[in-house]
């Protein structure tokens, strides 16, 4: 709880200017620290997305992850252990098969929202991010806090 408060800064819903649209499109991935929170802004197939920049699993740098579609959802694949996170919602998705089924049929499952996502808006070529004000705990919050930062550095 303490870490969470430190990590979140002041998510009061204000707009943060993060750059010019053209520059962000060109960069594809942009790292910004807003109110003490490290955010990754992604431009992919004509749309902007923003999420916490460290993977909810163990703090991997999502900035270096590939983007692929799984189960109809565009996802970033964490370079560390290949967890898949949907760009739109921060949902953790994975493929598994039910051992009771014969033959085994692998299917996609969702773990729910694991990575905090933020809102991106654009006005006259200027791009803004509004930090999530969702007050419930989301797993990626851990790696924005003090303890999480230390762990990330060790890994
Ligand atoms: Fe991202 Fe493990 S740290 S998959």
Quote the ligand 1 centre to 40 CA distance (angstroms): 15
The ipTM is 0.99
The per-residue pLDDT for 12 is 62
pLDDT of 29-69, one tens digit each?
Answer: 999 999 999 999 999 999 999 999 999 999 999 999 999 99
Show contacts of 67-73: CB within 8 Å, 24+ apart.
67/42, 70/95, 70/108, 71/108
Q: Domains along the chain?
A: 2-154 (2.102.10.10)
> Does residue 28 contact residue 48 with C-beta atoms inside 8 Å?
no
Atom of ligand 1 nearest to the CA of 81: 4
pLDDT of 106-151, one tens digit each?
Answer: 999 999 999 999 999 999 999 999 999 999 999 999 999 988 888 8
Backbone angles phi, psi at 25, to 5 degrees: -70, -45
């Amino acid at each position: 709880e303490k870490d969470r408060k430190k990590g979140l800064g002041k998510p009061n819903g204000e707009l943060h200017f993060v750059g010019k649209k053209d520059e962000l499109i060109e960069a594809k991935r942009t790292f910004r620290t807003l109110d003490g929170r490290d955010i990754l802004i992604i431009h992919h197939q004509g749309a902007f997305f923003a999420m916490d920049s460290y993977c909810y699993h163990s703090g991997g740098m999502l900035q270096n992850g590939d983007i692929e579609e799984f189960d109809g959802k565009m996802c970033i694949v964490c370079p560390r252990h290949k967890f898949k996170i949907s760009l739109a919602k921060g949902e953790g998705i994975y493929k598994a098969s039910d051992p009771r089924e014969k033959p085994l049929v692998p299917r996609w499952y969702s773990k729910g929202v694991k990575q905090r996502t933020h809102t991106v808006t654009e006005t006259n070529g200027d791009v803004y991010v509004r930090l999530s004000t969702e007050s419930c705990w989301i797993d990626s919050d851990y790696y924005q806090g003090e303890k999480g930062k230390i762990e990330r550095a060790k890994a």
